[in-house]
Structure 1
C-alpha cells in the first residue's frame, strides 16, 4: 500500500511539474516617455540630477524601489520621446506603498502643493508622452 501511495505522488508530481510555468515573475518597471521642449534639455537634466535624483535615492534607501535610470532616445519621428525614465519596483505589491512614497516625497521635495507647482513648472521643459508598467519574466 505504501508503495502504491509513493508511486501515486510521484506521478501526480510529474503532472504538476508539467503544468508549472517556465518562468517566474520578476521586477516591475514603470517606463515614462518624455519629449524635451526645444532649448530645455540641460534645464530638465538639472532637475533630474537634483530633486528627482534626491527623491529616487530616498525611495531606494527606503526599499520602495530597487533602481531608476534615465535613457536618451533617438526619436524616429518628431512626436517621439527623446528621453525615457524608468523606475524599478521589486514586484507589483510595491506599487501599493503609495502612502510611504508620498511621505518620502514630502520630506525630500516638500508638501503636495509645492510638488504640484513644480510639476506644472516642468511642463515648460518637457512633455510627458505617456507611461507604462512592464513586468520582467525570468525564464527558469
Structure 2
C-alpha cells in the first residue's frame, strides 16, 4: 500500500514538471523588464520630466554603453485612476533575471556613471542631492518584473 501511495505521489509530481516543460514548447524566454511606477506630485509633472531629461537620459546612455542594461523606456499613463495610480513608469531591460542580482562590479560601474553625471565624487553627498531633487517631485508606487517571451510558430 505504501508503494502504491508513493508511486501515486511521484506520478503527480512528475506531471507538474511535464506540464511546465510543455508550456515552454510554446515560447522562448527573452529579456526581463524592471518597471518602476511613480506618481508625480500635484503640479510637478513637467518639473519631474525636466529632471529625468537632465539626469536619467544621460545615465541610461552610459548604462547601455557599459552593458549594464539593454534598453530603457519612460512610459506615461494617460488614464490615471485615482491618487494611488501611477502616471510615469521607468522601465529597464536586462538580458535575464540574473542581471538583477547584486554584483559589486556593476555597482562600481553605476557609481562611476552617477559620479560623472553629477560631478560629485562623494556617494553620500551625491545620493542626498539626488534624493532632495527628486523626492519632492514624485512618489514611488511599486516595482514589477516582467519577462518578454517570443511565441513559437
User: What is the distance in 2 between the residues matched to 1:119 and 1:134?
Assistant: 27
Please list the CA deviations of residues 71-106 of structure 1 after superposition, one character each: whole Å capped at 9, or x if unmatched: 110211222111111111121232243333333223
**Which residue number corresponds to residue 114 of structure 2?**
105
Matches within 5 A, 1:39-78: 39-73=43-77, 74-78=79-83
Q: TM-score, normalised by structure 1?
A: 0.77
User: What is the distance in 2 between the residues matched to 1:27 and 1:57?
Assistant: 19
User: What is the distance in 1 between the residues matched to 2:50 and 2:84?
Assistant: 23
| Structure 2 residue 97 is matched with structure 1 residue 85 | no
Distance 1:94 1:119, change over 3 A: same
Q: How many residues align?
A: 123
User: What is the distance in 2 between the residues matched to 1:102 and 1:138?
Assistant: 34
Q: TM-score, normalised by structure 2?
A: 0.71
Q: Secondary structure at the match of 1:117?
A: helix
Instruction: Could you tell me which runs of 5 or more consecutive residues in structure 1 were left unpaired when the two chains were aligned.
Output: 1-18
Give the CA deviation at 1:119.
Answer: 1.9
Moved more, 38-47 or 105-114: 105-114
Give the CA deviation at 1:42.
Answer: 1.2
User: How big is the alpha-carbon RMSD for the aligned residues of Structure 1 and Structure 2?
Assistant: 2.0
**Which residue number corresponds to residue 126 of structure 1?**
138
| Structure 2 residue 149 is matched with structure 1 residue 137 | yes
